[in-house]
Structure formats: C-alpha cells, structure tokens
Structure 1
C-alpha cells in the first residue's frame, strides 16, 4: 500500500502533467491484463502519456484545475488519465486503434458476428469433433486433419458467447474480442466530449461528404444556381441541350 508521501508525490506529478498537455481524457482499464496494458502504453508512446493511480488520487489531481470539474464525473474504479497534445478525435482514434485481439470467454457478448470459415484446421481427429458439433460447426476427418465443411456463424453480434463456442474458438485460435482502454470522455480546448461522440468511421464520413457534395452540385445545375463548382457542369448541360435541339431542327419533316 502506498505511503502518505507516495500519494502526495503521485498527486503532484499528475497535477504537473495536467499543465503540460492541452488534451486530457479519462479511460477505463477495467479487467485489462497487465501485459495488454503495457502493449497499449508502448503503442501510444510519443503521442500520449498514461497516468495511472487510485481513483481518489486522480480526483485530487483534477481538482487542481477548475476547468476539469465536469470531466471528474467520468472517473471510476480502474480509470486512467490520457494526456496528449493531439485533438480529441485523434486521441480517441489512437486508443481505438491500439486495441488488442483477445480470446473469447463464456458469458461475454459477441462484438460482431463470429464466423468460422470452411477449410482445413490444425486440429487432429478425436474428441474435437464433438466439440465442433456442440458449437454447431459441421466438420469431417480428411486425412490427418479435421476439415470444416461449411462456414458457420457460431455467435451473432450481441449474443452471449456460450461455453461450447468459447471452447472451440480457443482450440481454433480465433480471437474475436477486442480489449483496450475505453475512452469515456475527453477535454480539449475548453470542450468536453463523450467517447461515443468521438467514435467516427472516417471512411463513412468521406463517403457521406462526397454524396452530399454531388447532391448539392446536381441541385445547383438543375436549379440554375451559378457558382465555381456548378458553372462547368451547367455549360456542359447547356451544350448538350443545344446540340439536341439543333438535331431536332435539322431533322427533315416526315411526308
């Protein structure tokens, strides 16, 4: 158990860190194994610092700066502080991408559909065939190996992972779970963001922006709204329409 002086020093050091970085986040490391925590810390090195201490010590450190009053409510047991000069969105993305694949345990919720593809396995024939059957995976013996004959969805997104499924996933070496630091909230330049707000699919955003741009451009062209983006398509449209009209005028009258 830390001594009184160690606690004082811990609060002092964290308070000093809070002055050095512009962005501060609270994340949960509940049930995160020490090995995985160290791997994530290594991935974030140079981009973000992780301060870990008891809940009460983190609370005292945050008390040193009044602007963190709203951030404090996101503190809980197993919380850590993430400190960085990255903006809120980049900091969230950094730790989202730092998550590590992990084996599934019975009782956990499947984060996505867990699919076992058809094909050869490294499993030797024997009792494992019963394990596969219990997990509703069709398989057969082919030479010295067990072969899965059909793709199998052993757990759908949101379903509870059964002991039978967890057992066979372990034997197949499939790690469908993601573990890491869950960012609860981020304070950046006077703004407080909840983690859920920062969870953005970059590709989806790009596609939506491209679609919105195209729809706006089409509206400008057909409504006759001239701007730097619509002027060329409008000229092209007018040219096509003029050519079509000219073709009609030149077309000889039918007898």
Structure 2
C-alpha cells in the first residue's frame, strides 16, 4: 500500500516529490550504496559523473517512500536499501551505468568489523620493516614472518581472511602496515531500473571482451556454414563461388577431364604417378 506525502512535513514532502519527478525526467535510475566513501572522494565522484548522471542523496526513509509512491517494479528497489543509500539518475543504459560506477571504485585499507569482499592474500617476500615487534604482530595474525638480511620477510603466501569473513582489529592493523588495501570503496550499484525492469548488478556485470569474442566466433561459424552449405548471402557469395571453382578444378583433375584450364595439372599428376610407379618397379 502506498505511503502518502501529505502526512509528511513540507521539506520531506518536497524531497519525495523531487525524487518522483526525476523518475519522469530520466529513463534509468540506479540505487547505490555510498557506505565508507570519504567526503573528498564522493565530491570527486560527483564531479566526474556530472555530465552523465545526477546523484540524489537523502534519508533512506524518504528514498523508500518515494520508491513506494512511484509504485510498480520501482517499489521493489526499496528492498535493496541498506547502509548509506542514494539514487542516481541518468540517460545512459544500465550496463553503461554499472561500468561507470565500477570506475569510481578505489582500493582502501580495511577497517575493523568490515567483511572481506574477496579472499585477502598476503604475498611472500621481503618487506620494508626492520626487525622488531612487527615480527610478533605478523605471526600473531597468522602471517609467517622471519628476519632475513636485516629485514622482515614473509616466508609463504597466505590467505589471511576468506571472502565473507569479518576482519578483526588486529588483522586490519597488520594489513594496513603491510599496505594491503582489500576494500573497494566507491558507489556500489545495488539495483537499476529501466522500462519497467529492475536489473540486479550481477546481470549488468558483463565482460565486453568475452561477449565480443563470442559474437566474432558466431559470425565466423555462420560464414563457414553459409559457404559449406552453398547458401548465398552478400558476404559469402564470393567465397562460395571461389570454393565451387576449387572443387570443380579438383574434380576435373582427379577424373582426368581434359579441359584447357586444367590440362597442365592433369599431365603433372600423370607424370608424378609414373615416377612413383617407376620407383616401385625398380625396387
């Protein structure tokens, strides 16, 4: 059931009405999570996206109410609101929007209590640390460390936090000292809406090079099928005629059909056969 803005204070009603109007003005809308983005980075992101998108930040409750009042499939986007959410409005398609938002992400150090987005791996090799308490800190964090040539060295590559696990304060401190930055910080797309359809981010996360490779392969296979099945098209007629000429020439040579364009080839074939036969007789 829709929630109506006449129960809201004027400033809140204006916020909801503004969001609803943006749904009229823009064909594509994304719901993003801004959690953990430093103010300076957010300002930089907004400047970079200014020509292609408008970011509307307000309270989650007002965003949810606006989505509910727009109704339809849009209302289901409210289920993705979490953390510090915002709406982003654009005239680009959802796939382009996803790609643009991925480009806003930068790597940052982990904070205690955050969840590892992927396996966090510490690579083996020398560090810049001199012998000292750091050796014990690394070992307590489960990182095999030794002293070698006057420097602290990590003996083996080790996965210290698995994807989905919570990063402890001790681990966050050690990772920061090792300059390991596992956290992607930027506008994270939770859902996008266009033409009555809500897209999940995993649907939009396509590898363009893989798809281009598949299209290229499909085109080549279609070309080969057309040529081999003698189905003429604008692109394949030349190749079909060339193949027909080659096949006819080969047939004529093998069958010994005396025709002026292949007589030399027939004589050459007969000569090679006579040489082969001569070699067998002499043996």
State the TM-score, normalizing by the size of structure 2. Answer: 0.71
Match of 1:69 in 2: 72
The CA distance in 2 between the partners of 1:114 and 1:205, in whole Å, is 29
The 1:63–1:242 alpha-carbon spacing in structure 2 relative to 1, beyond 3 Å, is: same
Higher RCO structure, 1 or 2 (CA under 8 Å, sep 6+): 1
User: Distance in 2 between the 1:14 and 1:105 partners?
Assistant: 33
Distance 1:184 1:71, change over 3 A: farther
Secondary structure at 1:104 match in 2: coil
2:62 aligned with 1:57, yes or no?
yes
Structure 1 pair 138–21 and aligned structure 2 pair: CA distance change class (3 A):
same
Partner in structure 1 of residue 176 of structure 2: 170
Question: Matches of residues 1-255 of structure 1 in structure 2 within 5 Å?
Answer: 4-30=9-35, 32=37, 34-62=39-67, 65=70, 68-75=71-78, 76-77=81-82, 78-105=84-111, 108-155=114-161, 158=163, 160=165, 163=168, 165-234=171-240, 237=243, 246=253, 249=266, 250=269, 251-253=272-274, 254-255=276-277
Query: 1:116 & 1:27 partners in 2: Cα distance?
Result: 30
Unaligned residue ranges in structure 1 (runs of 5+)? none
| Contact kept? 1:40, 1:99, Cα under 8 Å | no
Tell me the distance in 1 between the aligned counterparts of 2:139 and 2:112. Answer: 17
Distance 1:135 1:214 in 2: 54
User: Which is greater in Rg?
Assistant: 2
- The structural deviation recorded for 1:175 is 0.7
- Quick check: 2:116–2:161 contact (8 Å CA) kept in 1? yes
Report the Cα offset of residue 174 of structure 1. 1.0
Asked if structure 2 preserves the Cα contact closer than 8 Å seen for 1:92 and 1:198, the reply is: yes
Change (3 A) 1:154 1:232: farther
Q: Note the C-alpha offset of 1:159.
A: 5.5
TM-score between both structures, scaled by the size of structure 1 = 0.77
Deviation at 1:34, TM superposition (A): 4.6
